[in-house]
Chains A and B, each alone.
Chain A
Amino acid sequence: MSDRPAKSYGIIATFQTAPQLYHAAEQVRDAGYRHWDCITPFPVHGLDRAMGLRRSIVPRISLAGGITGFITGMTLIWWTGAWDYPLIVGGKPYFSPMFAFPVSYELTILFTAFATIIGMFVLNGLPMHYHPVLKYEHIRRGMDDTFFIVIEARDPRFNAANTRALLEKAGGTAIAELEA
């Protein structure tokens, strides 16, 4: 392994407390960076706004899943009971949205849950068992009690010296370069 990594992924800075991270994130956001991230051991309340993130689009995927589930339930019950093999049971109609409702309702919830989780994984690009950030030797603390800001080298505003200075000014310590 050479002394200098062949290609840099970006720069990582350490912050000891949630408020420090929060204010640093505001500064990085205001500096106009787009390809950057915070690493936190728990969801920090309000950090989305400090990072300038837009509202997650997971709910749209969930809604699509829910609608699919409801239509699946109704169609299944109509097709099996009134179309494929109509059978009189207890003198009741072949199909009615009333008796089809409980099952369709459950399928709405089932499909919503799957859509939500699959949507969350796809949007997050998970599973991804390898990531340059995970190679950082102290990243374990990011799951425990320490906070990090990572600014990626592919960001148009990225400049090794200036970015490092920004993170230093924002209160970051142990600033290090990440290998790609």
Chain B
Amino acid sequence: MAHASESTVGAPAILREVKPAVLPRAILVEHGRSFSWITDKISGIIEGKTPGWWWVCFILACFVASFTVGGITYLVATGVGVWGHANPVNWAWDIVNFVFWIGIGHAGTLISAILCLLRQKWRTSINRAAEAMTIFAVVCAAIFPVFHVGRIWYAWYLFPIPNSNVIWQNFRSPLEWDVFAVSTYGTVSVLFWYVGLIPDLAVLRDRFYAAGNKLRSFLYGLFAMGWRGSNRHWSNYEMAYLILAGVSTPLVLSVHTIVSFDFAVSLLPGWHTTIFPPYFVAGAIFSGFGMVLTLMLPLRAVYGLQDLITQYHIDCMCKITLATGTIVGYAYGMEFFIAWYGANPYEGFAFINRAFGHYAWAYWIMISCNVITPQFFWFRKVRENTTLVWVLSIFVNVGMWFERFVIIVTSLARDFLPSSWGYYSPSIVEIFTFFGTFGVFSVLFLLFIRFLPIMPMAELKAVTPQADVHGGHHGDHKTGLGDPASVEQGGPQP
């Protein structure tokens, strides 16, 4: 400490003259909304009557989800042979969809954890829904490897539980690492989400109690753990939240790294590359932000959340999509460069075959959706057109599914010996199972927006101008945060 103060005293006089530029801060909650407006707005979504569109969507989602239920029931009843896997492609649809869904989940953790550590306050309005998306995406992802084991009732062999064969799991295999990575990811995501929900559940507990709905008050109260907004609790809570963000950050990076190890640790041309971990992580975040936009833009329109999910939020999300999409595009190019520069004929063939072989159609869908689509986000006019942003986000989702398909299927279908080459097409059971997961995801997401607060009320209140206790004292630091008079808005508002 002594050194620090000495250096301040001994600093050149000029430093005291320097006035850092005051950058205007983006307004995260528009129209100077009060605390109670936020509470009423978010709680109102849950307290109000179930809207008609919700029932329509829910029934439709249940219908779509029944395809997964039907597909896996038929698989379990008949055998894993009902999927289109055959030599040399013994691993395609399930792992493509597994990686696709896990990747979507990663944007939720990026928003909730990495942006929290980077103090990107704009995350507050979208993090709850994005974390929910993560959890539901992990649920959809887990369906595929679990049912690909064939005898689902032996799925517990994946975990180190003593079994009658007395043999343990092979911890040298990236697939076993994946078991731990994905189950940890799912568990920690649920814990992180739940911790974030506790203060908001307490709000709902009290509101339902005041409204006379004892049953719902009891249920929300049970999970609110008796939260009472004590600052001694907030102190530990905030620290716990920060640590969870701190551990979720290396977690999300490690999960997709380990997923990429499933391929990179093998010796197959097109898979055996060191670029996979960073390339997969960037791709996961890219696809996840695509899905966040796909989900949040309709939600914003339907519930009139324009004051909470502002144009600034959409801009930020579009820019991250653009940045990660460009990283993915760079990785595609670098793969080709290394295939040529490595001078390995098998590696070189694998990439020429991807772009011009039997699966060229899939490759060019991938390139146009993943590399070209996000480039539109350079333009403000595009980012401000929410319909167009939504359509582009769908293209991102499609492109990232094809990326996994291209990587996995082309390498397996054309490996070292031409005599063992093949062509993979999914069976109808596989298509149904995958199609149905969108229903599973939608059912879960619709239940979430009906019964849980879709935005973290406490966190939103904390980023409003009137939450700043020093608002009136040194207002010169607060340019762009609204006029100092807004500090007085903390009280009850109509």
A109–B250 touching, CB < 8 Å: yes
Q: Which residues of A contact B188 (CB under 8 A)?
A: 109-110, 113
B235–A56 touching, CB < 8 Å: yes
Chain A residue with Cβ nearest B488: A17
Assess A145 versus B172: contact at CB under 8 Å? Given A16-B491, A123-B236, A133-B228.
no
Which residues of A121-161 have CB atoms within 8 Å of chain B's CB atoms? 121, 123-124, 126-131, 133-134, 139-147
B202–A19 touching, CB < 8 Å: no
B248-264 to A contact mask, C-beta < 8 Å, 1/0: 10110010001001000
Stretch at the interface among B83-91, B93-101, B467-475: B467-475
Bound Cα distance from A80 to B161, whole angstroms: 11
B466–A124 touching, CB < 8 Å: no
A44–B236 touching, CB < 8 Å: no
Q: Quick check: is B492 within 8 A (CB to CB) of the other chain?
A: yes
A48–B177 touching, CB < 8 Å: no
What's the count of A-B pairs with C-beta under 8 Å? 231
Minimum Cβ distance to chain A for residue B412 (Å): 20
Minimum Cβ distance to chain B for residue A4 (Å): 24
Chain A residue with Cβ nearest B234: A43
Q: Which residues of B contact A142 (CB under 8 A)?
A: 228-229
Q: Which residues of A contact B174 (CB under 8 A)?
A: 102
A17–B487 touching, CB < 8 Å: yes
Q: Quick check: is A171 within 8 A (CB to CB) of the other chain?
A: no
The 8 Å CB contact of B251, one of A22, A48, A90, A109, is: A109
Minimum Cβ distance to chain A for residue B186 (Å): 10
The 8 Å CB contact of A19, one of B166, B248, B487, is: B487
Q: How many residues of B contact A (CB 8 A)?
A: 75
B157-184 to A contact mask, C-beta < 8 Å, 1/0: 0001000001111111010110011001
B227–A126 touching, CB < 8 Å: yes
B469–A46 touching, CB < 8 Å: yes
Q: Quick check: is B192 within 8 A (CB to CB) of the other chain?
A: yes
Bound Cα distance from A89 to B171, whole angstroms: 10
Bound Cα distance from A90 to B226, whole angstroms: 54
Minimum Cβ distance to chain A for residue B43 (Å): 9
Q: Quick check: is B370 within 8 A (CB to CB) of the other chain?
A: no
Which residues of B212-267 have CB atoms within 8 Å of chain A's CB atoms? 221-222, 225-240, 243-244, 247-248, 250-251, 254, 258, 261
Chain B residue with Cβ nearest A37: B230
Q: Quick check: is A30 within 8 A (CB to CB) of the other chain?
A: no
Interface centre among A16, A19, A47, A147 (most CB of B within 10 A): A19
B110-152 to A contact mask, C-beta < 8 Å, 1/0: 0000000000000000000000000000000000000000000
Bound Cα distance from A41 to B248, whole angstroms: 26
Bound Cα distance from A48 to B238, whole angstroms: 11
Chain B residue with Cβ nearest A132: B228
Interface centre among A17, A85, A146 (most CB of B within 10 A): A17
Q: Quick check: is B459 within 8 A (CB to CB) of the other chain?
A: yes
Stretch at the interface among B33-41, B53-61, B308-316: B33-41
B240–A117 touching, CB < 8 Å: yes
Assess A19 versus B470: contact at CB under 8 Å? Given A89-B172, A124-B232, A144-B203.
yes
A45–B469 touching, CB < 8 Å: yes
A103–B171 touching, CB < 8 Å: yes
A127–B170 touching, CB < 8 Å: no
The 8 Å CB contact of A127, one of B226, B462, B470, is: B226
Assess A124 versus B36: contact at CB under 8 Å? Given A37-B230, A46-B470, A143-B203.
no
Bound Cα distance from A154 to B177, whole angstroms: 53
B226–A131 touching, CB < 8 Å: yes
The 8 Å CB contact of A62, one of B203, B243, B254, is: B243
A116–B468 touching, CB < 8 Å: no
B240–A120 touching, CB < 8 Å: yes
B160–A80 touching, CB < 8 Å: yes
Q: Which residues of A contact B225 (CB under 8 A)?
A: 121, 126-129
Q: Which residues of B contact A59 (CB under 8 A)?
A: 239, 243
B457-485 to A contact mask, C-beta < 8 Å, 1/0: 11101100011111110000000000000
Q: Which residues of A contact B254 (CB under 8 A)?
A: 102, 105-106, 109
Q: Which residues of A contact B272 (CB under 8 A)?
A: none
8 interchain pairs, CB-CB under 8 A: A17-B491, A42-B458, A48-B235, A89-B170, A113-B192, A130-B226, A143-B39, A144-B203
Which A residues form the contact surface with B (CB < 8 A)? Answer: 16-19, 21-22, 37-48, 50-51, 53, 55-56, 58-59, 62, 66, 76-77, 80-81, 84-85, 87, 89-90, 92, 99-100, 102-103, 105-107, 109-110, 112-114, 116-117, 119-121, 123-124, 126-131, 133-134, 139-147
Known: A21-B469, A42-B199, A129-B222. 6 other contacts (CB 8 A): A37-B231, A45-B462, A47-B469, A62-B247, A76-B160, A124-B232
